Amino acid sequence: MKINREDVQNLLQTVKIEGSEKEVEKIIEDIYSLESWLEPLFSIDTTEVLPTVYKYEGNNVQREDKAQQRKNQHKLWEMAENFEEGFYRVPPIIEY
C-alpha cells in the first residue's frame, strides 16, 4: 500500500508524538521495511483457521466481586507532580 505524508501525519496525531519532516520520511521508510519483512506471512493459507485470542490454558478464575481499598493509592497519587483534591491538574484542554 502506498503511504503518503498525510497518512503519517495522522499516525503522529494518533500516537501523540511530535515529528519533524525528516522523521516523517523515516516513518514511511520503516513502514515499507516492516511490510516487506512481513510479506512471507501472506503465503500461508489461514482460511477457516480460528484466531487465538488468549494464550493461557484453562478457565478464567474470577475473584469475588467485592470492593477493596487499594493500600497504596495515596502513594500513587504522590507520584504525580500536580495532584489536587482527587484530580490530576493538566494544561488547558479547551482554548477560550
- The residues binding other proteins (CB under 8 A) are 1, 8, 11-12, 14-19, 27, 30-31, 33-34, 37-38, 40-42, 44, 46, 49-53, 55-58, 60-63, 72, 75-76, 78-81, 88, 90-93, 95
Residue 28 Cβ vs other proteins, minimum distance, rounded to whole Å: 10
The backbone torsions φ and ψ at residue 70, rounded to the nearest 5 degrees and listed phi first, read -70, 130
Look at strands 87-88 and 83-84 and give their pairing.
antiparallel
Nearest to 13 by CA among 1, 29, 24: 24
CB closer to other proteins, 5 vs 33:
33
Cell numbers standing for residue 40 = 512471507
